[in-house]
A and B are shown apart, each in its own frame.
Chain A
Amino acid sequence: DIQMTQSPSSLSASVGDRVTITCRTSQSISRYLNWYQHKPGRAPKLLIYAASSLQSGVTSRFSGSGSGTEFTLSITSLQPEDFATYYCQQSYSTPLTFGPGTKVEMK
């Protein structure tokens, strides 16, 4: 199985800050990496697929990069609605696996 790690596990930031989250995989997965945003009591929301493709309807403040085993999710100019937990997920092979999550909290 492909193991996923994310760093940091949590961070505190202010509105307007730039935030970067890193996801690493235990083996190379090319660009088979997706990012999701999840808020309590809500359905998870797809942000980025194929490492860097922005899902339709998602603000361009979100961007993704990387390939192989290291990937990043960046949020420019953090907005109040961006405080949430972010997960990476590999779609390279089953079992599909998610990272442990990064909680973005308000400073």
Chain B
Amino acid sequence: EVQLVESGGGLVKPGGSLRVSCAASGFTFSNAWMSWVRQAPGKGLEWVGRIKRRADGGTTDYAAPVKGRFTVSRDDSENTLYLQMNSLKTEDSGVYYCATERGETGEDYHYYYFMDVWGKGTTVIVSS
């Protein structure tokens, strides 16, 4: 069974740091692009960042609100994705989901990416 399980959430003070993890099973993790998506209380889904697979350069991209403060990394030997969050702000509070990004070739021969497997999320609360 394809599964993603997030962990590591908790309560942290503004300005503090936290690392959350996402354990993957049931698929070849090293072949997957992976993203983090969050949902602040009462708000919608917000993409946080992504890491490509090593074969595609292993590069990362980030949303503007977290760029320079958050780092997405992966350990393919442990099938685990990480999100290191530094200089946390109250507005970073929310549920953090990891998701696989998979692509398929459409009928028009373009390659389309989508997030098809999601974890259940881990809750981060930034508060004094």
List A residues at the B interface (Cβ < 8 Å).
Answer: 1, 30-32, 34, 36, 38, 42-46, 49-50, 53, 55, 85, 87, 89, 91, 94-101
Contacts and interface: CB of A to CB of B under 8 A. Distances in A.
B115 A34 contact: yes
Given A43-B121, A98-B47, A55 B116 contact: yes
Query: Which 3 A-B pairs give the minimum distances between C-beta atoms?
Result: A49-B114, A43-B118, A50-B112
**Dominant SS at the B interface?**
strand
Contacts of B46: 98
A13 to B, nearest CB: 20
Contact of A87 (B45, B118, B121): B45
Nearest to A46: B116
Interface of B: 35, 37, 44-47, 50, 61-64, 97, 99, 104, 106, 108, 110, 112-116, 118-121
A95 B97 contact: no
A45 B62 CA distance: 22
Given A50-B104, A101-B44, A95 B118 contact: no
**Dominant SS at the A interface?**
loop
B116 A94 contact: no
Given A50-B106, A89-B115, 20 more contacts: A1-B64, A30-B110, A31-B108, A31-B112, A36-B45, A43-B97, A43-B121, A44-B97, A44-B99, A44-B115, A50-B104, A50-B112, A53-B106, A55-B114, A55-B116, A85-B44, A87-B44, A91-B112, A91-B114, A101-B44
